[in-house]
């Protein structure tokens, strides 16, 4: 028991320290990170933890769990980039601990350690464990639900106890449905994916009593009650808009059309992009993706051997493998069919993929595994410490804020012309209490002519055109950078009227 507790503490602490590296020195990246960070700040300002806002407008994109986690972080560390990212660090570390605990039950010490290390040192995990977004919380709750589903399936899966006590089954039942509820609160209905491999396993194995352990009617009711504690007040206060926009637009429309240019609406390009995740996994799951072809061949050969010889037992595919494969396949197939595509969408499959790879690879090539793990850890740590400070000044909003922050006052109003990225709201509202006003070439001058101190941010090329004869008391600050959201260089100027 002492050894197990020590292992969990070491793994949790090590993952937290590993993922913390660089989180304080890299500016928030447009567009999602500043949106989450700013929405949380406005949630605290309003003392409203039900309906999120961004720049004084409803933000229906995601349910509130990530904002709640960031709000707790802000209370401890203040409202800054590090505090916005800290919850994702904790979530990623908890995912590794969950993988470790699950691995102990299906393979022992080596499988547990290997699976946790594989997940932690995957490139996509490294990126999203440092991102102020909802994905790592989704991965955590989906992993817990996958694990609890496996435990409830019980004797139908190899390497599981023949029978579990009613108390233990009840424990896993609660974990399963509560995890599904919080997965929804993290990122919406996609968090309910673990229901599918569970249902398919029950359907194919047809073991008497297996379905009854899930008590689906009571469990789904519990899950919906937990979600409704937030959803019902949110729907009432927004007159149903949270459902119309949050579910119908950001879930349904994301499935049948592209959003923000991530994918293609043409049938030809859609068909061409069908293998997207089966290709990008080799980058997202790097460096372990080098073993994926071997894993696929190995599992296929073992399946064929098992079919040819029903008595084949020691090293073949078992039902645990099939459960993991089913979960991985369902995640990949669902997001393959969805039109909007981003490489990190399949991240919830990575814990299952890490466990599957560890179960088979851990029987051999220990030295090679350790070499890859140590090399990747060193590369990622060096990258985390060296890269953020070297590129921070290339983030336009952050650089312009640093240039002008000593001249900013809380009572100022501000607007932006042709550059309305969320990072402007996040950084400048740390000094200015008002909200950003979107402007255009026609009304920018009128905005600056109003009484009171104010400033406007615009492309440098428009400065002399819109403000050719500005008073000498006005100040200007300029910067150059790269807009990652649009993939192009920008030159920005801030024109400030002190009084």
Percent of the chain with pLDDT over 90: 77
Judged against a pLDDT cut of 50, whether residue 366 lies above it is answered with: yes
Percent of the chain with pLDDT over 70: 90
pLDDT confidence tier of residue 48, bands split at 50, 70 and 90: very high
Residue 152: what pLDDT?
A: 94
Average pLDDT, the chain: 90
Per-residue pLDDT tens digits for 145-171: 999 999 999 855 644 444 557 788 899
Q: How crowded is residue 280: how many other Cβ atoms within 10 Å of its Cβ?
A: 18
Judged against a pLDDT cut of 50, whether residue 313 lies above it is answered with: no
Q: How crowded is residue 174: how many other Cβ atoms within 10 Å of its Cβ?
A: 13
* Beta partners for residue 456, in sequence order: 415, 495
Residue 475: what pLDDT?
A: 97
Residue 311: what pLDDT?
A: 40
**Could you tell me the sign of the dihedral formed by the alpha carbons of 166, 168, 172, 174, in that order?**
positive
Structure-derived torsion over alpha carbons of residues 179, 185, 190, 192, reported in degrees to the nearest 10: 30
CB 175 within 8 A of CB 148: yes
Mean pLDDT of 73-79: 97
Cα–Cα distance, 382 to 390 (Å, whole number)? 12
Higher confidence at residue 266 or residue 437? 437
Residue 7: what pLDDT?
A: 93
What the block records as the tokens of 420 is 């309305």
Residue 314: what pLDDT?
A: 47
Per-residue pLDDT tens digits for 221-251: 999 999 999 999 999 999 998 888 777 665 5
Judged against a pLDDT cut of 60, whether residue 495 lies above it is answered with: yes
Per-residue pLDDT tens digits for 109-150: 999 999 999 999 999 999 999 999 999 999 999 999 999 999
Judged against a pLDDT cut of 50, whether residue 190 lies above it is answered with: yes
Judged against a pLDDT cut of 70, whether residue 389 lies above it is answered with: yes
C-alpha radius of gyration, the chain, whole number: 25
Residue 309: what pLDDT?
A: 41
Residue 455: what pLDDT?
A: 98
Judged against a pLDDT cut of 50, whether residue 308 lies above it is answered with: no
Residue 207: what pLDDT?
A: 82
**Beta-strand pair 413-417/436-439:** parallel
Residue 266: what pLDDT?
A: 67
Number of H helices, E strands in the chain: 22, 7
Per-residue pLDDT tens digits for 438-489: 999 999 999 999 999 999 999 999 999 999 999 999 999 999 999 988 889 9
Residue 159: what pLDDT?
A: 47
Give pTM, 2 decimals.
Answer: 0.93
Judged against a pLDDT cut of 80, whether residue 263 lies above it is answered with: no
CB 43 within 8 A of CB 147: no
Higher confidence at residue 255 or residue 58? 58
Under DSSP, the state recorded for 289 is: G
């Amino acid at each position: 028991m002492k050894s197990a507790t020590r292992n969990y503490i070491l793994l949790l602490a090590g993952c937290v320290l590993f993922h913390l590296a660089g989180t304080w020195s890299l500016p928030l990246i447009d567009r999602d990170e500043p949106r989450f960070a700013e929405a949380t700040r406005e949630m605290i300002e309003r003392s409203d933890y039900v309906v999120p806002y961004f720049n004084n407008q409803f933000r229906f994109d995601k349910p509130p769990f990530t904002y709640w986690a960031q709000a707790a972080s802000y209370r401890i560390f203040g409202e800054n980039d590090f505090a916005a990212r800290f919850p994702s660090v904790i979530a990623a570390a908890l995912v590794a601990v969950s993988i470790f605990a699950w691995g102990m039950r299906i393979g022992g010490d080596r499988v547990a350690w290997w699976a946790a290390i594989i997940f932690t040192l995957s490139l996509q995990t490294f990126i999203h464990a440092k991102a102020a977004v909802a994905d790592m919380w989704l991965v955590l709750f989906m992993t817990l639900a996958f694990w609890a589903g496996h435990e409830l399936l019980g004797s139908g899966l190899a390497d599981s106890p023949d029978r579990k006590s009613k108390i233990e089954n009840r424990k896993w039942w609660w974990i399963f449905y509560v995890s599904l509820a919080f997965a929804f609160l993290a990122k919406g209905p996609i968090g309910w994916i673990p229901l599918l491999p569970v249902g398919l396993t029950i359907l194919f194995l047809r073991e008497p009593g297996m379905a009854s352990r899930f008590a689906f009617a009571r469990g789904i009711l519990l899950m919906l009650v937990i979600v409704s504690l937030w959803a019902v007040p949110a729907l009432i206060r927004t007159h149903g808009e949270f459902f119309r926009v949050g579910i119908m637009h950001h879930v349904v429309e994301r499935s049948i059309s592209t959003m923000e240019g991530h994918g293609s609406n043409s049938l030809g390009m859609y068909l061409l992009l069908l293998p997207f995740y089966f290709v990008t996994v080799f980058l997202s799951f790097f460096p372990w993706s080098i073993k994926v072809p071997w894993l696929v061949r190995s599992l296929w050969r073992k399946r064929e051997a098992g079919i040819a010889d029903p008595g084949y037992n020691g090293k073949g595919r078992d039902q645990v493998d099939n459960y993991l494969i089913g979960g991985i396949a369902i995640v990949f197939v669902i997001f393959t069919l969805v039109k909007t595509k981003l490489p990190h969408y399949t991240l919830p499959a990575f814990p299952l993929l890490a466990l599957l790879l560890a179960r088979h690879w851990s029987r051999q090539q220990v030295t090679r595994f350790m070499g890859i793990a140590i090399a990747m850890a060193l590369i990622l740590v060096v990258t985390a410490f060296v890269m953020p400070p070297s590129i921070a000044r290339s983030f336009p909003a952050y650089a312009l804020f640093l240039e002008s922050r000593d001249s900013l006052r809380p009572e100022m109003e501000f607007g932006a012309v042709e550059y309305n990225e969320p990072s402007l709201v996040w950084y400048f509202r740390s000094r200015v209490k008002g909200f950003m006003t979107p402007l255009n070439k026609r009304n920018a001058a009128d905005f600056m002519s109003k009484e009171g101190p104010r400033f406007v941010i615009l492309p440098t090329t428009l400065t002399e055109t819109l403000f050719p004869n500005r008073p000498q008391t006005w100040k200007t600050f300029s910067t150059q950078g790269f807009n990652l959201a649009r993939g192009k260089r920008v030159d920005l100027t801030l024109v400030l009227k002190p009084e």
